[in-house]
Chain A
Amino acid sequence: MITVNVNGEARKVRLDPTTPLLWVLRDELGLVGTKFGCGMAQCGACTVHVDGIAVRSCQTLLEDIDGAHVTTIEAVGDTPVGAAVQEAWLDVDVPQCGYCQAGQIMSAAAMLTEVSVPTDADIDGYMSGNICRCGTYTRIRKAIKQAAHSLKGQGDKA
């Protein structure tokens, strides 16, 4: 029995320790917001935060996250950065089919905790692991900058 801490809750799972975190989240814990696109960390649809760091959950094994805190798309909005990203995503009408967007948001939120005012080059780099088949990149870029601006405004007021 392995205990995983997901979105602030300790969950016990009885699974092969080499099960990828992606499938623990989706099939075992019913958290289907994190998506499957490739299974080899090429597309980024499976991006979650492990102790605040963006990781590809399809290549992260259950045994690797023992004792770590996992945050998924279902809970990232509880943080100011996550909430700001989600609000910008809505405001800019980012999604097309929407399938990649949870992963995009998780990567963007992780970037904004490290780089508060990202340049285009920062965005190109940090978001390089997230594929959007529908081509929403121009709006993702715009939403990231908008979220950064909004967070800066909140920071200035604090």
Chain B
Amino acid sequence: MTHPFDLGAGGAVDKHQPDLSRRLFLKATAMTAVGGGLMLSLGACDLMDGGKAPSEVAMIPVGSHIMIATDGSVTLLAPNPEIGQGVKTSLPMMIAEELDVAWDQVTVEQADLDTAAFQFQVAGGSLSTPMLSLALRRVGAAARQMLISVAADHWQVPASDCVTDAGQVIHAPTGRRLGYGELAAEAAKLPVPELTEVPLKDSQDFRIVGKGVKGVDNPKIITGAPLYGIDVSVPGMAYAVFVKCPTYGGKALSANLREIKALPGVQDAFLVEENDSRPSAGAGWWLAGDGKADPSWWNAEGLNNWPDMLMSGVAIVADSWWQTQKARESLEVVWDEGRAGDQSSEGFDAQAEAFFADPPKEVRWPELGDVDQALKESSDIIDVEYRFPFLAHATLEPQTATASVTRDTDGTMKVEVWSGPQLPAIAQATIANMLAIPEEKVTLHLTRAGGGFGRRLLCDSLLEAVWISKIVGKPIKLLWSREDDTQHDFYRPGGYHRLKGGLDRDGKALAFDNHFVGFGGDKAFSNAADSSSPGYLYGNIPNMRYKASKIPLYIPTGSMRAPMSNSHGFVFESFVDELAHKAAIDPISFRLNMIDPTKEAPSWGNLTDGVPLTGFNPTRMRAILELVAERSGWHQKKLYGPKQGQTAENNNQPRRGMGVGCYFSHMGYFAEVVELTIDRDNSVTIEAVWVVGDIGRQIINPLNAENMVQGSVIDGLGQAMGLEVTFEGGAAQQSNFHDYPLIRMAQSPKEIDVHFHITDNTTTGLGEPALPPILPALANALYAATGTRYRKLPLPIVDGVLETDGGNS
């Protein structure tokens, strides 16, 4: 399966996905306001607001996303899952803009999953913005047009004589006004205009989009109001934990269930068998088809790509979650560990070395020129090995879901689920398959998620909650412990590169030879374990060979923020840096020399209406490299190269260094510079970070955009400075934050300068592309400060102290 999220680095995308604008239609119903205050969506927010009284004012739906009250207040439904990427604010902003209401007239509510009403309810791939910007603007504009036509009809004037302003329709020649609240009931009866024909605002007239808007949930977040999956409470609910084998894929054979059931508060304890109900592919990769997936694809050679299924384990159900945890301490399970039991990090490293001893077999990217000949002709050669570890997603809110399986009035089974999955349509289909019920019987309320980062692409915790609810016959709140979360991840995969590079006498890169050792089987790489394209290296170095080998892996891997780019970016951008220093040319100038402005990769179709899938554009990358050089004082400070003979011992001054990284991923371009100092005691201070990004012509919410870049930078720095997951006996050796130390306040840079370079290109997403460059920027700055090249992640900086001066190749 082509990876849906690797768009920017030249990866393939499913070219058969439907054009959204044809499917996203406005469903104006004939429903008029019902007296007495009818709230139209009984979503999770209603349940958890502690019985908020329904609005006294009737809300009228004008399409799927918009409800207008008779007093003119507007409720917008935020369609996509909110995992911290800010779409609960930014997507409604676009509707409100074209609807032409003032933001302070707007209340935002989270939409539930509704595959008929909402398209592309996904959190992933940095895709909400490019997939939905135009469609949601059209939704707002269409409703505005319907409201205008009601007013025009009322006044018996041409609609073209009417304008709108902050929720009112105005007859321009006479100044007469009618508020949207007065018009909504009639507007709701009208047929929907052709969405592709509704006029949209000129961006110069934007009053909401492009202005900083604060997060709509902030007032609830800062006062502890219920918002997250973990906060859900359903009457009659019991609590559950689901214990799985530490070795991935292990099966529970027996357990001391009778003893557990006798413990305080425990209502039930039982074994659960593995259940694979993964749906077949749908019309788009985020949708499910009818029926179940062909297991031979998912389980090629015993590898379990995309483990979106109920695993074997032991469920403990109790009156409170704490009691399930206490009971768990006494649980004894006999496991059949299965084939992952032989897998270990030590074994992987040994297999990688064995592969490097032989020529690689599999071609990853088509060869260019004659690498061996070019290496012979090179005046300078580098021959180096890089590696990066497995990582855990570590969302701060552990995996959790609440489910209630009941019987409908006709006796058939139905289920209501509250959780925050990133692919809710897939979750719905998988649950339906598992219970052998139609999808319409699966109601999925989307709760705000305490972080996604790709972990919540899987619906495994939802399946567990549903299954347990079905067995015990009551609502179940399932919560994973931190240990569960760390040890039952689908990990960002590790990998190894053996790279050779050759330079000519003028310092121009002539040759690039890469043997990448990743994880997978004969037919395919493990999920998200493939390598990115080498980006601008490809085509700008005339002789290139890029081959791969694969280590068999029976532990699940998967997408984590900027899949593949988040690791290979470090490798390629460090490698370019090594070439630059070998050529004795500063690393930004070296990149500018390499990136040929005439070599623009061709467009390769459309993501959706109005969003071309453009290949790598060298002009955009060159522009941000020049800008980041300027903003960081790169050429003035001259901190990009190690001073001759400088070590901690012979120099009283702190060592200083600046490093750069640039990357194109998820259709966005980012160039980043890190400046750091290292004291005599080896403590490392990241003095400043400069980020320049190009994500197109319109930053939707500048406040959130800057926040997202800061977060991406800190995320990447944290990964680089201390995170790795290692395996022994097919089980992760890390379990909690004491041995998987997420970055803290003291290690974060105090200043992160963020600048968006606006270009006349379609606006693309921001969840991911700012992350890949920061890791090599840090490693390159470390080289500049110390003269030691670090080729392995994590870098040996622990609690802000550089552990060794000896390099870690």
List chain A positions with a Cβ less than 8 A from chain B.
Answer: 16, 19-20, 23, 27-28, 30-40, 42-43, 45, 72-74, 77, 86, 89-90, 93-102, 105, 120, 123-125, 127-128, 130-141
Among B306-349, those with CB < 8 Å from A are 320-322, 325-326
Residue of A nearest to B710 (CB): A138
Give the Cβ gap from B718 to chain A, nearest Cβ, in Å. 7
Q: Which of A32, A98, A137, A140 contacts B218 (CB 8 A)?
A: A98
Contacts of A99 in B (CB 8 A): 228, 396-397, 450-451
Is B233 in contact with A30, judged by CB distance below 8 angstroms?
A: yes
**Alpha-carbon gap, A19 to B325, bound state (A):** 11
Residue of A nearest to B265 (CB): A16
**Alpha-carbon gap, A47 to B707, bound state (A):** 24
Contacts of A120 in B (CB 8 A): 750
Q: Which of A33, A123, A132, A135 contacts B223 (CB 8 A)?
A: A33
Q: Which of B222, B481, B745 contacts A90 (CB 8 A)?
A: B222
**Alpha-carbon gap, A101 to B451, bound state (A):** 12
Among B581-636, those with CB < 8 Å from A are none
Given A99-B451, A137-B714: A32 in contact with B231 (beta carbons within 8 A): yes
Query: B715: CB under 8 A from chain A?
Result: yes
Give the Cβ gap from A150 to chain B, nearest Cβ, in Å. 15
Q: Which of B479, B749, B750 contacts A36 (CB 8 A)?
A: B479
Given A36-B398, A37-B397, A138-B749: A73 in contact with B321 (beta carbons within 8 A): no
List chain B positions with a Cβ less than 8 A from chain A.
Answer: 83-84, 86, 212, 214-215, 217-219, 221-228, 230-231, 233, 239, 264, 320-322, 325-326, 394-398, 448-453, 479, 481-482, 703-704, 707-708, 710-715, 718, 736-738, 742-746, 748-752
Is A93 in contact with B482, judged by CB distance below 8 angstroms?
A: no
**Alpha-carbon gap, A72 to B225, bound state (A):** 12
CB within 8 Å: A-B pair count: 175
Is B736 in contact with A42, judged by CB distance below 8 angstroms?
A: yes
Residue of B nearest to A32 (CB): B231
Is B223 in contact with A74, judged by CB distance below 8 angstroms?
A: yes
Contacts of A124 in B (CB 8 A): 745-746
Contacts of B219 in A (CB 8 A): 90
Contacts of A125 in B (CB 8 A): 746
Is B226 in contact with A23, judged by CB distance below 8 angstroms?
A: no
**Alpha-carbon gap, A19 to B86, bound state (A):** 36
Given A27-B239, A40-B738, A138-B710: A20 in contact with B221 (beta carbons within 8 A): no
Contacts of A38 in B (CB 8 A): 482, 736-737
Contacts of B742 in A (CB 8 A): 43, 131, 133
Given A42-B737, A98-B448: A134 in contact with B711 (beta carbons within 8 A): yes
**Alpha-carbon gap, A45 to B180, bound state (A):** 43
Contacts of B264 in A (CB 8 A): 16
Is B230 in contact with A98, judged by CB distance below 8 angstroms?
A: no
Q: Which of B86, B320, B396, B738 contacts A45 (CB 8 A)?
A: B396
Is B711 in contact with A136, judged by CB distance below 8 angstroms?
A: yes
Contacts of A101 in B (CB 8 A): 221-222
Is B712 in contact with A93, judged by CB distance below 8 angstroms?
A: no
Contacts of A102 in B (CB 8 A): 221-222, 224
Given A19-B322, A86-B222: A135 in contact with B231 (beta carbons within 8 A): no
**Alpha-carbon gap, A100 to B397, bound state (A):** 9
Give the Cβ gap from A71 to chain B, nearest Cβ, in Å. 11
